[in-house]
Amino acid sequence: MEQIIANGLYLGAQYALIALGLTLIFSLMNVLNFAHGQMYVLGGFVTYTIVAQFGLPFIVGLFASAIVLAVVGALIEKFLFAPVIRKSKREESTMLLAAGIAFFLDAVILLVFGEKQRGVPKIVNGVLNWDFRIIMPYDRILIGVLAIAMIAGFILFMQYTKAGRAMRALAQDRMAAELMGVDVKRYSMIGFALGAMLAGLVGGLLVTITGINLGMGGPTSIKAFMMIMIGGAGVISGAIAGGFILGMMESIGLTVLAAYGDITYLVIFASLMVFLAIRPQGLMGKPWG
């Protein structure tokens, strides 16, 4: 049981961090960013390049991932999403744009980084073995702690900084925020950059554990969408809750249901369908949006 909880917490921390970026972008701009997984992958490849190719410390790679993805996110918002949102009132326009960006990033990643699985050396060696009740490599513990620290940092940023307050105001009521003098264009771009940066940071963190490859983008996006559906789209606390719930469900399922084959995600999806039928707005979302 201890092992299941430890695995669930570790998975939950990384999932929550992935979901945060997605839900932030959704809350600010009402955009379903299907390219979120590809941004995660790009972040992983940036860290890989800095650490494995250039031989620089892991922390430099992590910072590089954050900066590169923040810039990519800002550019995507400024030159792609902002004009489309301005010109089109149809929500599917931004959805199609996001899907197009996902395909584009996939192609760019293939061209630049190649088709192979990539990884960087372990940042910490050794395994915690607590009487065979919990076995957890130290690097996973470190990554889990870093992910939780980043979630805490993100919450503090949103709570206590001017930019954070502006973005929360935007998320609550775009028009009211604009009337109160919030620079909507600027904070939309900052919000998108922050969301992309979070995706890049998780990619950079996890490249030390899971490695990274071209095909990880789509499945990552799907999991991120599941998390915000569980927690409630556009709600930060909901994304965190969704991440930890999904991580725990996965951990329990993979242990308890192992004897019945790979039915963990079948059970999770079935549960999600029932849950959404009862509470379509998710745990913490509001029925009116």
Partner 1 sequence: MKRRTLLKTSALAAVASLSFLGMAHAENPVLKIGFVGVTSGPAAAWGISNQRSMETRAAWLNELGGYEIDGQKYDIQIVAFDDQKDPKRAIAGMEKMAQEGIHYVVGPNVDDGAAAVRPVAEQNGIMYFPYAFPKELYTAPASNAVLGMVANYQSGPAIYKHLMENEGVQKVAFVAANESDPLSQRDGGVEAAKALGLEVVSDSVTYQVDTTDFTPVLLPVIQTQPDLLVLSGVSPANAPQLIRSARELGYEGLISTETAQDATVLQEGAGELANGFISVGGASTPELASDAMREFVDRYTKMFGEYNDESNTKVYALEYILETIKANPAAMTDVEAFKTTMDTFEAPNPYMVGDAKLTYVGTSSFGQKRQVSVPLVVNVFKDGAFETLFVAQVD
Near partner 1 by CB under 8 A: residue from 120, 123, 169, 239: 120
Does 284 sit near partner 1 (CB under 8 A)? no
Q: Examine residue 209 and tell whether it contacts partner 1 (CB under 8 A).
A: yes
Q: Is 38 near partner 1 (CB under 8 A)?
A: no
Write down the least CB distance from residue 103 to partner 1, Å. Answer: 9
Rounded Cα gap, residues 139 and 137, in angstroms:
5
Part of the chain binding partner 1 (CB under 8 A), chosen from 27-35, 109-117, 233-241, 280-288: 109-117
Q: Is 49 in the site for partner 1 (CB under 8 A)?
A: no
Answer for which of 57, 59, 108, 117 binds partner 1 (CB under 8 A) is 117
Residues 13, 14, 123, 226: which binds partner 1 (CB under 8 A)? 14
Kindly state whether residue 118 participates in binding partner 1, applying the rule CB under 8 A: yes
Token reading at 130: 């607590």
If phi over 0 gives left and psi between -120 and 50 gives alpha, with beta otherwise, what is residue 282?
left
Give ∠ CA 201-207-211 in degrees, rounded to 5: 150
Range list of β-strands (E), 53-168: 127-130, 134-137
Helices marked H in 49-81: 58-76
Task: Determine if 99 is a binding residue for partner 1 (CB under 8 A).
Answer: no
Options 5, 59, 108, 127; binder of partner 1; rule CB under 8 A: 127
Residue whose C-alpha is closest to residue 208's, from 135, 153, 146: 146
198/43 Cα distance (integer angstroms): 9
Q: How far apart are alpha carbons 226 and 221 in whole angstroms?
A: 9
Residue 5 within binding range of partner 1, rule CB under 8 A: no
Q: Residue 27, interface with partner 1 (CB under 8 A)? A: no
- As measured in angstroms, the least distance from the Cβ of 10 to partner 1 is 7
User: CA-CA distance, 260 to 282, in Å (whole number)?
Assistant: 29
